[in-house]
Chains A and B, each alone.
Chain A
């Protein structure tokens, strides 16, 4: 029987050293998991990382409990759950490696298949281990052994499969991590990924010596203890690398976690439940207060970060505002000079002179549009982009915008037309701003439609909404780019090739304008053209 392994009776034998070692590993894993969960659970690498650490914590805590619980049958159950944790470490590490690899490499079907194999086998082994909990002993065999042999229990018939699974999945994840290191964008990125790959793989491989006692060789006390510290190093490293950790938050978390652990074990070592009650009360109090403390520290840090970000945003937009205003005076002079040269009938320009002046005027017009866009973006960032709403008919706005763009369309030999219904409900709009948004959409349609194409603005009512759709027969938008169209400064690869002058701000501003009206803007493209749609809520029934 293992009754003498109660924590109150610590002696220096290998079992106790293992208990302390695995307890420390469990503590580290849980602390790291709490760090990552609180600071970065929504980040791309944060999620697989905290899941991996959760699996490590399951392995560690149940491994620790296995050493300290007085009852042999309970100890066996602890061990089974701890081994389940090992299976989950294999699965989550594979997940982490794939996500990390996807940062730089487009993963193919083979990698996906391997990943799913690891998941399916892992799930099968987990189920098998569940049956072990009820005494089948398929994986973790018999534990009713004398204490000195407790590290080398009998292996169940499937233990070898589990060991192979662990070794193969660790090796596969190691290969993916090494591949990620190879695909790094620069030397430092490659080096960082290589460090992470090596420490995670070696750490888990050393941890694998935990299984050797099952087969008669006990390497674990010798090298296995190094495994988790190496793995922790890898986790900490990636946390630091991806700025998932804030020092102040970490300090608060360590403090709180140490308090939790201390009060938890104080409660655990009491000889009876009655004697433990005050300590249990203390533990619960510390638990609740700790959660509040952590939440407030995280909230405080977030507020500080947000304030700093807002201050930077403000400075940026002030800079843009000043720069754009300062640009406007010389730009006015350039535009007015070209205009005078081109319209002054007393000394008309001829041939190449006129051509050059026209190009100059167009360049100055583009620069004006850019400075206006920058100012609008700065206003949006400053929250000074306001709307003066009035009730009106969007047909006016469509006619105005189409009228303004007829000339550019004609020059590019594009047929621009508007289909207006006979009656339409009114909407609440800021006439100038809505016209600007619509001009942007029509201008894009004209720019990205080859000569001879069509651009049609279609206005209709549908389900209490007024819909303005701009269809073109242009180059379309690649599916991968469609989700990024409304980002600031984003320009599609084909769009840049066809019209190098755009700022990538027009659609961002148009979206802000339409959403400022409580409306919605969408762009869809099936490769044979594009449709940009503005949907506005109608404020009154149809007017003829």
Chain B
């Protein structure tokens, strides 16, 4: 049996066996999803402890409702929509302590989407940042994004879901995913380009953060 995550045959087989009583196999079924579940919930709830608690509740709800999975979407997408509902339920219960935490913001959300243009072409790059610092800068910038952009960027760029699965998991259209992803990246570029000059991702043969 192939164990590749996202392999629908492997998932169907595992689900059947779990439902037939081999409950321990549920660990293997949920394992490939747990990262995306946690980060989606962290994006929504913005609190590590609560996101972890919500991720555990999500896993248990997935187990209890496994017979409801119809197989008309990817298993991971279904799991993420359960995570999203868990997150929304918690936000509602918290009576929206932060107004921007709910999904109801409109696309007309303000924000300056023009890119950062750095004209200091010959400037010596800022001190080369340790990856740890790069990570912290990225996480902070993402944390500051409005929720509707943060959730999309989380699933598309961090967890590498495609547009269709992201739309399904978040209950929005693929068009909305594209618009929000574009705006999120524009906001991140604007915020990060000036700070990350001189840092080049290892996997990319890219050289410049700014002109």
The yes or no verdict on A and B being binding partners is no
B residues lining the A interface (CB < 8 Å): none
Using a CB–CB cutoff of 8 Å, the interface residues on chain A facing chain B are: none
